[in-house]
Amino acid sequence: MLASGTHREVVLVVDYGAQYAQLIARRVREARVYSEIIPHTTSVADIIARRPAAVILSGGPASVYTTDAPRLDADLCSAGIPVFGICYGFQAMAAALGGTVTQTGAREYGRTALTVTEPDCALLWDVPAELSVWMSHGDSVTQAPPGFTVTASSAGAPVAAFEDRQRQLAGVQFHPEVVHSQFGQRILERFLYDIAGIEPTWTMAGVIDEQVAAIRAQVGDGLAICGLSGGVDSAVAAALVQRAIGKQLTCVFVDHGLLREGEAEQVERDFVAATDVRLVVVDAADRFLAALAGVTDPEAKRKIIGREFIRVFEQAARDIVVEAGSSGASVEFLVQGTLYPDVVESGGGSGTANIKSHHNVGGLPDDLDFDLVEPLRTLFKDEVRHVGVELGVPAEIVWRHPFPGPGLGIRIVGAVDAHRLSILRAADAIARAELTAAGVDREVWQCPVVLLAEVRSVGVQGDGRTYGHPIVLRPVSSEDAMTADWSRLPYDTLATISTRITNEVPEVNRVVLDITSKPPGTIEWE
């Protein structure tokens, strides 16, 4: 978590087990108001002790009818703190304050037409009378609590929004934090600014100040190492920690043999040259490939790569102490560029499912010898980029497409070996070069290039029959990696990529395009 208790104007997001609880916090920050997430088990007394400017109740998968469903303590709504309920939080507020929540059988999922019934209300003021919002509910509020004004409805939700201006309470059945809800950010800001009366004064620079203080408090006079991959996450984490503790940090770049073409050179050229951080390069390619030999299960790959990373770091830490001549000293802290989507997909959210273990979360070994320093753990990728810009991280790294810590090892569907890596590395380099040449780098969030190593297809090249591997292009557009859609790249660009790959990579005779959104797919194939 970000350092807590340092802002008067903090909005606490109560997590009822929603995949998007952090997205709510992110939208609040976009409104220039500081926010933190707390579990739904937090007592009202503890919430009041934090003196929040407002509280937002997130959605969640439960039904208010079930005996084990999380409940809202009505005392929170009488404590003089502005409260805003979203989806399940909206229903929990209604049930706690004397309203009625009913299983009507009229479920609403996805884009839904919303009708504003009170256009002069605070929450929905200055939005169209009819708008499209994102719903995800089976139960509905059929009667608002006493004192509340019903301000909107939909076909499946007779009470789709309500508010009590005098008590600074409001709620909506839909998800304003999701980009698919029209005017969602404006509605959220109406609550923050007009109902809760919060001034929008917080900026991303506040994250830097708080994290610098938190890192210094955690590390003290100790030594830390950072696994620098060359990607934006680890680079920004390293720059942030270096600002906090300076020469106490050593960055370790592990060449695990799973890197893209030119990866190591970019780290030394762009990052080290700009920051003057101390860098130790470890060539561990043989070690990783030996550990991955014959392994095809993606979860097993991730865990193996995570385990080997830590073992390499541990040895690097011992070497750093020896080289420094620090008698009796040791490296106690490991800096990681863990982001919130990594935590959520690895089951780290409150009530969220384990989608896949990220090497820096679920893939860490149980006998870890380091204390983790994760200054970006509650941030999304775009927020990390803003922090990187503030810290002066080179633009070539800040705006680089995300690349997974396990590298090309999880972009080979099948066993990993040196030959398959060379095939994928060549295809990936071509795809990246052509995206840059077409000027669409900033339009694409990420473009994984995947080798289907266990699949072959018949082709015709040079008037002869071939039996080669397919390559999958996975260009996606996203704001935060929690959801994504496939990027509509120009056909000419796709054609050029396909032609170059099949001409220049002999083992490949087919290039296919993945047009699946997230969900149901994930961005990476493994």
Span 352-395, pLDDT tens digits: 333 334 444 444 556 667 899 999 987 888 889 889 998 888 88
pLDDT band at 95 (very low <50, low <70, confident <90, very high): very high
Residues 378 and 342: their CA atoms lie apart, in Å, by: 10
Q: Which tokens go with 338?
A: 């863990």
Q: Is the pLDDT of residue 346 over 70?
A: no
Q: Is the pLDDT of residue 414 over 60?
A: yes
Residues 170 and 429: their CA atoms lie apart, in Å, by: 51
Alpha-carbon dihedral angle through residues 157, 42, 54, 28, given to the nearest 10 degrees: -80
Mention every residue, 6+ apart, whose C-beta is less than 8 A from residue 86.
Answer: 24, 56, 57, 58, 59, 171, 172, 174, 175, 176, 177
Residues 245 and 67: their CA atoms lie apart, in Å, by: 49
For residue 60, the SS3 value is coil
Nearest Cα to 239, choosing from 376, 357, 348, 119?
376
Q: Which tokens go with 331?
A: 């490296």
- Residues 436-454, mean pLDDT to the nearest whole number: 93
Tokens 């999304």 belong to: 380
Examine residue 519 and say whether the peptide bond preceding it is cis (omega within 30 degrees of 0). Answer: yes
Q: Which tokens go with 262?
A: 């030119």
> Which range, of 98-107, 125-134, 441-450, 468-477, averages the lowest pLDDT?
98-107
> Which range, of 4-13, 159-168, 173-182, averages the lowest pLDDT?
4-13
So what's the pLDDT on residue 344? 59
Determine which helix (DSSP H) or strand (DSSP E) holds 57, and give its type and residue range: strand 54-57
Q: How far is CA 312 from the centre of its chain?
A: 26
Q: Which residues pair with 150 in a beta bridge?
A: 162
Determine which helix (DSSP H) or strand (DSSP E) holds 465, and give its type and residue range: strand 464-473
> Which range, of 209-213, 245-249, 264-268, 286-290, averages the lowest pLDDT?
264-268
Residues 520 and 204: their CA atoms lie apart, in Å, by: 32
- Residues 121-148, mean pLDDT to the nearest whole number: 91
Q: Which residues pair with 362 in a beta bridge?
A: none
Q: Are 418 and 288 contacting, i.e. CB atoms less than 8 angstroms apart? A: no
Mention every residue, 6+ apart, whose C-beta is less than 8 A from residue 273.
Answer: none
Residues 348 and 355: their CA atoms lie apart, in Å, by: 10
Q: Are 93 and 83 contacting, i.e. CB atoms less than 8 angstroms apart? A: yes
Q: Which tokens go with 347?
A: 């089951």
Task: Report percent pLDDT > 70 for the chain.
Answer: 92
Q: Is the pLDDT of residue 345 over 70?
A: no
- For the chain, how many residues are written? 526
Q: Is 407 exposed, middle or buried (0-12, 13-18, 19+ CB in 10 A)?
A: buried
Q: Which tokens go with 286?
A: 């043989």
User: Which residues are catalytic, by number?
Assistant: 87, 175, 177
Nearest Cα to 450, choosing from 474, 420, 485, 486?
474
So what's the pLDDT on residue 463? 67
Residues 374 and 104: their CA atoms lie apart, in Å, by: 44
Tokens 């690097």 belong to: 316
Q: Is the pLDDT of residue 509 over 60?
A: yes
Alpha-carbon dihedral angle through residues 126, 24, 27, 233, given to the nearest 10 degrees: -160
Residues 498 and 479: their CA atoms lie apart, in Å, by: 27
pLDDT band at 324 (very low <50, low <70, confident <90, very high): low
Residue 253 has φ and ψ, to the nearest 5°, of -100, 115
For residue 372, the SS3 value is strand
Q: Which tokens go with 486?
A: 């496939």
SS3 of the chain: helix, strand, coil, percent, to 5: 35, 20, 45
**In terms of pLDDT, which residue wins out, 423 or 229?**
423
Q: Is 514 exposed, middle or buried (0-12, 13-18, 19+ CB in 10 A)?
A: middle
Using H for helix, E for strand and C for coil, what is the string for 33-45? CEEEEEECCCCHH
So what's the pLDDT on residue 472? 97
123-126 long-range Cβ contacts below 8 angstroms, 24+ apart? 123/151, 123/161, 123/163, 123/170, 123/172, 123/187, 123/190, 123/191, 123/194, 123/195, 124/151, 124/152, 124/161, 124/187, 124/190, 125/190, 125/194, 126/186
Determine which helix (DSSP H) or strand (DSSP E) holds 55, and give its type and residue range: strand 54-57
End-to-end CA distance of the chain: 28
- Residues 60-89, mean pLDDT to the nearest whole number: 92
Q: What is the pLDDT of residues 30-55, one digit of tens each?
A: 999 988 888 999 999 999 999 999 99
So what's the pLDDT on residue 172? 96
- Residues 276-301, mean pLDDT to the nearest whole number: 92
